[in-house]
Amino acid sequence: MKTSIAALAAAVLLAGCATTTSPTGRTQIVGGVSQAQLNQMGEQAFAETKSKMRASTDARQQAYVRCIVTDIVRELPANWQQLNWESVVFVDENPNAFALPGGKVGVHTGILKVAQNQDQLAAVIAHEIGHVYANHHDERITRQMGAQGALGVAGALLGSRYGEGAQQSANQLGGAALQATFLLPGTRTQETEADVVGQDLMAKAGFDPRAAVGLWQNMIAASGGNRPPQWLSTHPNPENRISELQTRAASLVPVFEQAQAAGKRPRCG
């Protein structure tokens, strides 16, 4: 009975959400929280990251990343450009990067050693911004909210039988799960979509889309044949990804060349 009621609660909650289409044409269920709330969550998560991690004091590194973020963001629709975009380079040898709703981008110093030029780093940053632009955080939150609603019903049932303490524990667990879902990497479907969106964005910004191939080859080499770096952990098979990146790069070279001819010649590095 508990399972049936919880499932019903989740279904009712998701029924109130919206169906939209991602930049690649994929159908998404979003709207578990408002865009304003989503942006606020991203800003809060970024503020917490800044309080726990050390920002690089190398002004050149900060300017390098900020330059690439600015050029990539310029290719987004106007309403996305209007976000309060902010980037920070964090001192961390793990080759990683992330972007959050609200226009927040974090880059670890470790990825600067893997991405050997501005085009390769643009591939990383555009991929992460692609997650934000494709509403992947909203999608994950909405999915988790369905589970959260079910958990709330389960908590009420626990409270009626075992007391208020049990209900509070269940609800607190749900909040922790929601926060974790917001900050965890995306699904493989989302990661592949971020590749598509990111490679398109970088080409339109005047970065060479073929550099995404070299970036991933460097990432594999950086793993030393052992477990892949964190940034690779949830991504599809690296060899298949490289093949897909190569195919898309060939079709995006004209876009890149057109951008360059129009004066979009990034000089960030």
Residue for token digits 């997650």?
131
> Which residue in the list 43, 128, 139, 193 is annotated as catalytic?
128
Q: What is the pLDDT of residue 201?
A: 98
As a whole number of angstroms, the distance between CA 117 and CA 191 comes to: 22
- Is residue 93 flagged as an active site residue? no
Return d(Cα 85, Cα 216) in angstroms, integer.
26
74 contacts: CB under 8 Å, gap ≥ 6: 81, 205
Question: Does the pLDDT of residue 68 top 90, yes or no?
Answer: yes
Among residues 25, 109, 27, the alpha carbon closest in space to that of 65 is found at 109
Distance CA(107)–CA(96), nearest Å, equals: 6
- CB 204, CB 255: distance < 8 Å: yes
Beta bridge partners of 269: none
Query: Looking at 3-12, 80-89, 93-102, which range is the least confident one?
Result: 3-12
Separation between Cα atoms, residue 132 and residue 193, nearest integer Å: 11
pLDDT at site 222 = 81
pLDDT value of residue 22: 86
| C-alpha span between 69 and 252 (Å, rounded) | 20
The strand pairing partners of 167, in sequence order, are none
CA distance 106 to 222: 20
pTM: 0.80
Please say whether the beta carbons of 9 and 150 come within 8 A: yes
Bridge partner list, 108: 90
Q: What is the DSSP string of the chain?
A: -HHHHHHHHHHHHHHTSEEEE-TTS-EEEE-SS-HHHHHHHHHHHHHHHHHHSPBP--HHHHHHHHHHHHHHHTTS-HHHHTS--EEEEE--SS--EEEETTTEEEEEHHHHHHS-SHHHHHHHHHHHHHHHHTTHHHHHHHHHHHHHHHHHHHHHHHHHHH-HHHHHHHHHHHHHHHHHHHHS---HHHHHHHHHHHHHHHHHTT--TTHHHHHHHHHHHHTTTSSPPGGGTTSSPHHHHHHHHHHHHHHHHHHHHHHHHTT------
pLDDT at residue number 188 = 79
For tokens 């980037």, name the residue: 87
The predicted-structure confidence for 116-155, as pLDDT tens digits, reads as follows 999 999 999 999 999 999 998 888 878 776 555 544 433 3
pLDDT tens profile 174-230: 444 444 444 455 677 888 999 999 999 999 999 999 999 999 899 888 876 554 554
Give me 216's structure tokens.
């991933």
